[in-house]
């Protein structure tokens, strides 16, 4: 469920993402769990405690052929950096990405947070530090495009539950 990595990218550059709807509790809850895991796992892992990060798969939806990984990490300012990396995105595409309530099999179509578009297979968004608890499942969803293509999902990944 919770994977910890020692990647050194927790100070990823902030881009254009200015989410207004982010439901803040979700990520913090997971990060708290990740931190607890590090402590339980022993002193040898203390070195990576400051780089705590969640990583989970982004699965292709339908025949999109787009899949990859999402990570949620805390940066040095205490903000959260959400990174989505996909292979198979069509060349030149700019695909909207959101956090939606629900699981990938049963998504609420109304997003809770707006992420940066996925361009060249990557989206990086810095979100404010969480303040309220999460209720229910949350998933990162990538849409085929804007307008009519918004209703077509090309990739989805469920934020791991405790």
72, 141, 156, 159: residue in contact with Cu ion (rule CB under 5 A): 141
Report 24-63 residues binding Cu ion (CB under 5 A): none
Query: Measured at CB, which residue is nearest to Cu ion?
Result: 98
Report 77-116 residues binding Cu ion (CB under 5 A): 98, 111
Output the smallest distance, CB 100 to Cu ion, in A: 5
Assess 144 for contact with Cu ion (CB under 5 A).
no
Q: Closer to Cu ion by CB, 52 or 111: give it.
A: 111
Burial of 25 by CB count in 10 Å (0-12 exposed, 13-18 middle, 19+ buried)? middle
Compute, in degrees rounded to 10, the torsion defined by CA atoms 44, 45, 47, 52.
Answer: 180
Number of H helices, E strands in the chain: 1, 9
Transcribe 109-154 into DSSP letters: SS-SEEEEEEETTEEEEEEPPP-S---S-EEEEEES-SGGGGG-EE
Q: Closer to Cu ion by CB, 80 or 97: give it.
A: 97
Output the smallest distance, CB 115 to Cu ion, in A: 9
User: Which segment (6-14, 51-59, 69-77, 134-142) binds Cu ion by CB under 5 A?
Assistant: 134-142
Output the smallest distance, CB 107 to Cu ion, in A: 8
Output the smallest distance, CB 133 to Cu ion, in A: 22
User: Parallel, antiparallel, or unpaired: how do β-strands 67-74 and 53-60 relate?
Assistant: antiparallel
Tokens of residue 82, six digits: 């959400």
Residues near Cu ion (CB under 5 A): 98, 111, 141
């Amino acid at each position: 469920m919770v994977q910890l990595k020692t990647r050194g990218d927790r100070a990823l550059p902030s881009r254009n993402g200015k989410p207004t709807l982010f439901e803040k509790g979700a990520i913090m809850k997971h990060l708290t769990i990740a931190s607890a895991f590090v402590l339980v796992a022993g002193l040898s892992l203390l070195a990576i405690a400051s780089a705590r990060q969640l990583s989970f798969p982004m699965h292709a939806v339908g025949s999109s052929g787009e899949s990859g990984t999402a990570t949620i990490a805390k940066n040095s300012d205490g903000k959260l950096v959400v990174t989505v990396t996909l292979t198979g995105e069509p060349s030149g595409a700019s695909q909207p990405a959101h956090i939606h309530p629900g699981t990938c099999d049963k998504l609420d179509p109304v997003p809770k947070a707006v992420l940066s578009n996925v361009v060249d297979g990557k989206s990086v968004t810095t979100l404010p530090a969480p303040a309220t608890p999460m209720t229910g499942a949350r998933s990162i969803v990538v849409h085929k495009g804007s307008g009519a293509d918004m209703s077509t999902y090309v990739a989805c990944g469920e934020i791991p539950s405790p």
